[in-house]
Structure 1
Amino acid sequence: MARLFASQKGVKSTIITTSLTSTLISKSLEETKSPNLSINVLTINFHFAEFGLPQDNKNTDIARIMNTPPSLFKATMKLQEPLEKLLHEEKPQCLIADMLFPWATDSAAKFSIPRLVFHGCGFFPLCASTCVKLYQPYKNVTSDSEAFVIPNLPGDIKMRRRELIELNMIEDEEKTFTRWLKESRESEVRSYGIVFNSFYEMEQIYADHYREVFGRRAWHIGPVSLCNSRINNEDKTHRGKEASIGDEHECMNWLGSKKPNSVVYICFGSMASFSHTQLTEIAMGLEASNQQFIWVVRKERKDEEDNNENWVSEGFEKRIEGKGLIIRGWAPQVLILDHEAVGGFVTHCGWNSVLESVSCGVPMVTWPLFAEQFYNEKLVTDVLKIGVPIGVKSEGDVRRDAIENAVIRIMMGEEGEELRNKAKMLAQKAKEAVEVGGSSYMDLNSLIHELQSS
């Protein structure tokens, strides 16, 4: 997003972050340095340990901070003062802040500048969640598994009570997190508007619904990952963390030996972790599907620490040799999805993963785990129709036969081919959206012009 803003004539971008992530961001910017882009990184020195949060990102995944909402909430509040100090010194014309910094609207107002809210999701999940909050349709069903239609939402979208983020908060954390979200929503209403990492052609009726029915000012400027098409592959390879396979080229070389659309990619993002039993079910389901695959494996934290590999059945890795590649840890996801050999993606439906899959024209097997991912699943399967659900239940593991069947559906036969064709058509629209004259290009230009004129 910083690159997109900086690519506009006369615009400079500054990324404000903490010491925990500044090195990663600075490295990415340095590797893809361009004389035409003015992007600066400013660091707020922050003592995470004071709030019981990890101080060192070398040994602890940053995303795991999210597992402690009360501590995280208190910590984010302490960022307000140092941010305002930077605003005073740098004198920017606009502040873009994540939705989970509700105080940012007031901070921007102190310096008479607009605050834009960034949501890490799209128009559809936000519209769906807003309608659920407003109309509470889950109160009209008698069980967690009974389906209901979300009122006043285009598309006749059905959900179940067990899939709602609004009802899935841990009881001990509910008061803190609910207050946090309430303050975020109130701050959003008072803000200048919202920017979305999305594009109009993917969520047209929901972008219109959000703006016209809910009356919110919003701009779609994505998919932002497509700005990587204008730079070299180094950024795609190293974004986030180093790939966890020994040779950074091993994965791409392995894919290069496969036929087009013959490999399924399995990855559940940076926050998900599975038990031994669930990993075993995935392994057996993949083997039974008889499909070639790349599988990014993350285990429960206690299992990572003791480095126990007993989830792998005897002889499994020998049996899949040449057919499957297991990556333990981080993977160059954008490069993998963009490879012609990849024909399907088993995903947790995080918004970044959904957009990256859409941008690369890869259909999905949807396996949502938490947060707005269940809403994203409905967008993929029911609205865009470029994916099949794996059938997540709230109780127990997803069984190997369900995994096997879903993978076969996405990779084989007429259904798989139809899903791939739809996904590739949508990918073309995504690329056109960010090109000169495209919907996201025009929305970004409109926003920049408005900010410069205000």
Structure 2
Amino acid sequence: MASGICQLHIFFFPFLAHGHMIPTVDMAKLFTTRGVKASVITTPGNAPHLSRSIQKASELGIELDVKIIKFPSAEAGLPEGWENLDAITNEVNRELIVKFYMATTKLQKPLEQLLQEHKPDCLVADMFFPWATDAAAKFGIPRLVFHGTSFFSLCAIKCLALYEPHKKVSSDSEPFVMPNLPGEIKLTRNQLPDPAKQDMGDNDFSRFMKASDDSDLRSYGVVVNSFYELEHAYADHYRKALGRRAWHIGPVSLCNRNFEDKALRGKQASVDEQECLKWLNSKQPNSVVYICFGSVANFTSAQLMEIAMGLEASGQNFIWVVRKNKNNGGEEEKEDWLPEGFEKRMEGKGLIIRGWAPQVLILDHEAVGGFVTHCGWNSILEGVTAGVPLVTWPVYAEQFYNEKIVNEVLKIGIGVGIQKWCRIVGDFVKREAIVKAVNEIMMGDRAEEMRSRAKAFGEMAKRAVENGGSSSSNLNSLIEDLSLRRH
């Protein structure tokens, strides 16, 4: 759309966690398909995770590059090289996590130096960088906010802040209705994030979250990785009732069209992609359940053991992705979470991936018939796009809100029974509940109906990003707005 001397140049600045970096790089690639020049800002420790995908884009003549700024590990009291949230959550140490968030506030000065030097036409910065609105304003640059979640969750967060329904119930387990939110959505205090319950007090982190909302209001608007057909009532509510400027441009993962693009997303996979596909090719359509809890959530050895026993008892084919934790010496922990002889018994039946999995490649395979997920928005969208029904197992962040949209609004999933929000380490689920949920999603009474609905949403997702589709049109409209603003 933009070319020659009129070409727009946009900076993309994702939060330093894989769940934020991956969709941001996809988004940057999406903008380049409209003739925009895109630059992704990151730190030295995170650059290698982006380089494969960006190198591939460059080979195709896409104008996408990386700008590096130093991460202030020493000033923040963090070990050298700890530049990604995933490294911190491996330690399950709340103090380190807060230090990490606070360290990111020190990135403002180097960001401003980049903005001054390159004078981009727009800055798309993560919600966890509230100071980015002021940084961009110094140079007259519009700042767009990327939350990395759904319209539904954005509406739920605002609803809680405006009406405080959680303060009107007598116990943590008593349900309350979310006022003025489309549909009768009920939650309990147990399911709310800690900051929403306001038990954090007036400390650095609560001030940080308030600053984030304030900077949203002062920004140019919000870009949302979603599509209108998926959650139109909430997209309308966010824009009209809450008065926020927002553009839906997703699912951004669909910018990765071929095998190589999908395989190169994020970190180096811990499994040979071709071997993984060969294993899936040997299975019947809709016969494999995929289990993955994202890049941050942690489970105890006892919970992993329970998952293993549940998978074995279910009798289903499975691919199970397990995070490899390291001890204080940086060595991988002893595997005390697998029942004796488990992998031998599961040979041909189950595949365990220790570390990073090529998730989009796996979900897009016709053999996959169900997805057990922590309800991170990237995972939900990737499941929806693949047309796969979900077993919901929320852990933290806004994941209980996402569970609501999957199970109650879209009706393409069932819960495993989690009732309590946890910080990083998930609540305990017994094997019987795992067996019940997995079997229900794969072959229960409602399995076909859910699969059919999921497949219909998958088709809508693909149409949304095609020429004339809702997301494609919204992206064109945003680029046009930015071009007009510059002139």
Tell me the TM-score normalised to structure 2 length: 0.88
How far apart are 1:248 and its partner, in Å? Answer: 3.6
Select which of 49, 57, 81 maps to 2:74: 49
Alignment correspondent of 1:421: 452
Deviations 1:78-106 (A, max 9, x none): 11111111111111111111111111111
Deviations 1:368-421 (A, max 9, x none): 000100000001000001000000133951000000000001000441111111
How far apart are 1:59 and its partner, in Å? Answer: 11
What SS does structure 2 have at the residue aligned with 1:272? coil
Rounded Cα–Cα distance in structure 2 between residues aligned with 1:125 and 1:59: 24
Alignment correspondent of 1:257: 282
Alignment correspondent of 2:186: 158
Cα RMSD over matched residues? Answer: 2.2
What SS does structure 2 have at the residue aligned with 1:296? strand
Select which of 128, 134, 140 maps to 1:100: 128
Q: 1:187 to 1:329 in 2, by over 3 A?
A: same
What SS does structure 2 have at the residue aligned with 1:216? coil
Select which of 322, 330, 340 maps to 1:297: 322
- Percent identical among aligned pairs is 59
Q: Aligned AA for 1:446?
A: S
Equivalent pair of 1:131/1:152 in contact (CA under 8 Å): yes
Alignment correspondent of 1:38: 63
Rounded Cα–Cα distance in structure 2 between residues aligned with 1:298 and 1:26: 22
1:50-129 counterparts in 2 under 5 A?
A: 50-56=75-81, 61-62=86-87, 64=89, 68-129=96-157
Q: 1:17 to 1:300 in 2, by over 3 A?
A: closer
Is 2:403 the partner of 1:372? no
Is 2:472 the partner of 1:441? yes
Select which of 290, 294, 305 maps to 1:269: 294
How far apart are 1:150 and its partner, in Å? Answer: 0.6
Q: 1:151 to 1:243 in 2, by over 3 A?
A: same
Is 2:253 the partner of 1:225? yes
How far apart are 1:174 and its partner, in Å? Answer: 6.7
Alignment correspondent of 1:15: 40
How far apart are 1:47 and its partner, in Å? Answer: 3.3
Alignment correspondent of 1:287: 312
What SS does structure 2 have at the residue aligned with 1:125? helix
Alignment correspondent of 2:14: none
Query: After alignment, is 393-402 or 203-212 more displaced?
Result: 393-402
Query: After alignment, is 25-34 or 421-430 more displaced?
Result: 25-34
Select which of 117, 136, 148 maps to 2:164: 136
Q: Aligned AA for 1:450?
A: D
Rounded Cα–Cα distance in structure 2 between residues aligned with 1:366 and 1:255: 23
1:196-211 counterparts in 2 under 5 A?
A: 196-211=224-239
Equivalent pair of 2:195/2:206 in contact (CA under 8 Å): no
How far apart are 1:298 and its partner, in Å? Answer: 2.3
Equivalent pair of 2:325/2:332 in contact (CA under 8 Å): no
How far apart are 1:61 and its partner, in Å? Answer: 3.8
Rounded Cα–Cα distance in structure 2 between residues aligned with 1:297 and 1:30: 28
Is 2:59 the partner of 1:28? no
Is 2:439 the partner of 1:411? no
Query: After alignment, is 174-183 or 188-197 more displaced?
Result: 174-183
Alignment correspondent of 1:350: 376
Equivalent pair of 2:269/2:357 in contact (CA under 8 Å): yes
Rounded Cα–Cα distance in structure 2 between residues aligned with 1:341 and 1:63: 35
What SS does structure 2 have at the residue aligned with 1:40? strand
Alignment correspondent of 1:278: 303
Deviations 1:187-213 (A, max 9, x none): 110111000011111110000000000
What SS does structure 1 have at the residue aligned with 2:184? coil
Rounded Cα–Cα distance in structure 2 between residues aligned with 1:431 and 1:422: 15
What SS does structure 1 have at the residue aligned with 2:45? helix
Select which of 307, 314, 321 maps to 2:333: 307
How far apart are 1:301 and its partner, in Å? Answer: 4.9
Alignment correspondent of 1:335: 361
1:387-406 counterparts in 2 under 5 A?
A: 387-394=413-420, 397-406=428-437
Q: 1:48 to 1:169 in 2, by over 3 A?
A: farther
Tell me the TM-score normalised to structure 1 length: 0.94
Rounded Cα–Cα distance in structure 2 between residues aligned with 1:48 and 1:172: 25
Q: 1:168 to 1:193 in 2, by over 3 A?
A: closer
Equivalent pair of 1:70/1:173 in contact (CA under 8 Å): no
Equivalent pair of 2:227/2:470 in contact (CA under 8 Å): yes
Q: Aligned AA for 2:449?
A: E
Equivalent pair of 1:288/1:404 in contact (CA under 8 Å): yes
Alignment correspondent of 2:342: 316
Rounded Cα–Cα distance in structure 1 between residues aligned with 2:434 and 2:324: 18
Alignment correspondent of 1:451: 482
Deviations 1:163-193 (A, max 9, x none): 1014578967972211011001111101110
Equivalent pair of 2:224/2:246 in contact (CA under 8 Å): yes
Deviations 1:39-75 (A, max 9, x none): 1211112332331334336999446399534312331
What SS does structure 1 have at the residue aligned with 2:460? helix
Rounded Cα–Cα distance in structure 1 between residues aligned with 2:185 and 2:325: 33
Rounded Cα–Cα distance in structure 2 between residues aligned with 1:58 and 1:129: 28
Query: After alignment, is 66-75 or 424-433 more displaced?
Result: 66-75
Deviations 1:196-250 (A, max 9, x none): 0111111100000000000000000000000001xx32231132111113x3422
What SS does structure 2 have at the residue aligned with 1:19? coil
Alignment correspondent of 1:386: 412
**Structure 2 segments unaligned to the other structure (5+ residues):** 1-26
Equivalent pair of 1:261/1:341 in contact (CA under 8 Å): yes
Equivalent pair of 1:18/1:44 in contact (CA under 8 Å): yes
**Structure 1 segments unaligned to the other structure (5+ residues):** none
Rounded Cα–Cα distance in structure 2 between residues aligned with 1:49 and 1:185: 29
Equivalent pair of 2:85/2:97 in contact (CA under 8 Å): no
Deviations 1:325-366 (A, max 9, x none): 111111110100000000000000001001111111111000
Alignment correspondent of 1:325: 351
Deviations 1:250-308 (A, max 9, x none): 21111010000000000000001111111111111111111000001126654994522
Q: 1:54 to 1:422 in 2, by over 3 A?
A: farther
